[in-house]
Amino acid sequence: MKLVFATHNKNKFNEVKTLIPKHIELVSLTDIGCFDEIPETGITLEENAHIKADYVTKNYGLSCFADDTGLLVDSLNGEPGVYSARYAGENKNSDDNMNKLLENLKGKNSRAAHFKTVIALNINEKKHVFSGIVEGSITQEKKGDKGFGYDPIFQPNGYKTTFAELPLDTKNSISHRGRAMRKLIDFLQ
């Protein structure tokens, strides 16, 4: 089975590819010749995931899944949330996003946060949704060089390290995306 993961993000694609069973041929937007930046105009993670999956299904006629992920910080009323990738601007710079978040948390007592991933799957002319959440907190400073996005400042509950300090297999076993992906994979099998 060939399945499109609607992303241009190589880090995210590689992280997900390690989870997908070998009998599924996982391909990216680049692999199918889609170089468009699909606009994420939804106001929820679920809406954005559907927008991306629907774009591929409509324009390429392929089975597809897309995800949208947000980091939600309790003391910032859920910011950056649906705007996580472009929190510090449309250039989607991870360092700028983390710096802005750390700045906005100065003086806040609570650093509790959670990551949420929503996956929209279009297959056999039907739509399905899967989600995963991981609770944690925002560290005072960046730590680690693995992962991407907010990983260097997110410490999952029960761990003394950030996502960026964890081996990929450990991160995948506990992360929001890993949890949502396991639900997707269970469904596909």
Is the confidence at residue 101, as pLDDT, over 90?
yes
| Number of neighbours of residue 164 by Cβ within 10 angstroms | 21
Q: What is the mean pLDDT of residues 128-155?
A: 96
Is the confidence at residue 189, as pLDDT, over 90?
no
Q: How many domains, the chain?
A: 1
Nearest alpha carbon to residue 82 among 115, 57, 33: 115
pLDDT value of residue 44: 96
Cα dihedral sign for 166, 135, 142, 81?
positive
Chain segment 23-35, per-residue pLDDT in tens: 899 999 999 999 9
CATH no. for residue 119?
3.90.950.10
**Whether residue 68 lies in the annotated active site:** yes
Q: What is the mean pLDDT of residues 4-16?
A: 90
Q: Is 95 annotated as a binding residue?
A: no
pLDDT band at 90 (very low <50, low <70, confident <90, very high): confident
pLDDT band at 91 (very low <50, low <70, confident <90, very high): confident
Chain segment 145-166, per-residue pLDDT in tens: 988 899 999 999 999 999 999 9
Q: Percentage of residues in the chain with pLDDT exceeding 70?
A: 100
By residue range, what is the domain housing residue 180?
2-188
Q: Is 115 annotated as a binding residue?
A: no
Q: Is 91 annotated as a binding residue?
A: no
Burial of 132-162, coded b for 16+ CB within 10 Å and e otherwise, reads bebebbbbeebbbebbebbbbbbbbeeeeeb
Is the confidence at residue 168, as pLDDT, over 90?
no
Q: What is the mean pLDDT of residues 110-121?
A: 97
pLDDT value of residue 148: 87
Q: Is 30 annotated as a binding residue?
A: no
Q: Is 12 annotated as a binding residue?
A: yes
Q: Is 114 annotated as a binding residue?
A: no
Is the confidence at residue 37, as pLDDT, over 90?
no
Catalytic one of 54, 68, 145, 169 = 68
